[in-house]
């Protein structure tokens, strides 16, 4: 099984890319849960809401055991950890441990070269997207994960992601 994490700031094409990559490689996608959860809330997202999302994300990682295939994670605890840090100024103690124990064959960090599109759930356009991008990159580096930045618009983004994954997997075999 190959685990590929697709992460990055809001409105950078993560969900679309994860689905397209799963189709290309004949794999599966573990969907973003935060959006689904937040869309059902009547008010702002609380600390306990975000912790619920984080626990679901970790459980989805633990359940995603599909030998011989690619599993594409649309976001994951990286984004949730940074959200705790930025919004609530504190992070549940168990999250860093879970992040450190996780293993991904490839991490694709989606670049902010796509325009930010407000949709009623997204909150962080403009300069905040760049700040979040820096935080995600720092966290990924801290973990020592094999990370590449995906750029491009439309089909170019997918082509670039496929090339990055193929290169990482070829390197991993040598």
The pLDDT tens digits for 33-84 are 988 888 888 888 899 999 999 999 999 999 988 888 999 999 999 999 999 9
**What pLDDT is attached to residue 122?**
58
List, for the chain, all residue ranges whose pLDDT scores fall below the cut of 50: 174
**What pLDDT is attached to residue 109?**
98
**What pLDDT is attached to residue 174?**
46
Return the structure tokens found at 11. Answer: 């409105």
Cα 52 to Cα 77: distance, rounded to the nearest angstrom: 11
CATH of residue 13's domain is: 3.40.50.300
User: What is the β-pairing status of strands 106-110 and 2-7?
Assistant: parallel
**What pLDDT is attached to residue 21?**
98
Quote the domain boundaries for residue 152.
Answer: 2-173
Q: Is 150 left (phi over 0), alpha (psi -120 to 50) or beta?
A: beta
Count: domains in the chain: 1
Cα 33 to Cα 60: distance, rounded to the nearest angstrom: 10
Contacts of residue 141, defined as CB under 8 A and 6 or more positions apart, other chains included, come to 147
């Amino acid at each position: 099984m190959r685990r590929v994490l697709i992460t990055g700031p809001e409105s950078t094409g993560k969900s679309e890319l994860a689905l397209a990559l799963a189709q290309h490689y004949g794999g599966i996608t573990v969907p973003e849960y935060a959006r689904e959860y937040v869309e059902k809330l009547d008010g702002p997202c609380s600390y306990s809401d975000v912790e619920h999302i984080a626990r679901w994300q970790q459980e989805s990682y633990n359940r995603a055991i599909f030998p011989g295939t690619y599993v594409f994670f649309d976001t994951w605890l990286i984004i949730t950890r940074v959200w705790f840090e930025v919004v609530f100024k504190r992070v549940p103690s168990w999250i860093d441990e879970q992040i450190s124990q996780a293993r991904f064959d490839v991490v694709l960090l989606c670049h902010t070269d796509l325009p930010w599109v407000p949709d009623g759930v997204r909150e962080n356009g403009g300069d905040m997207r760049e700040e979040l991008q820096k935080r995600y990159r720092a966290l990924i580096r801290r973990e020592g994960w094999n990370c590449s930045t995906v750029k491009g618009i439309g089909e170019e983004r997918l082509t670039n992601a496929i090339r990055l994954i193929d290169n990482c997997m070829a390197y991993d075999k040598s």
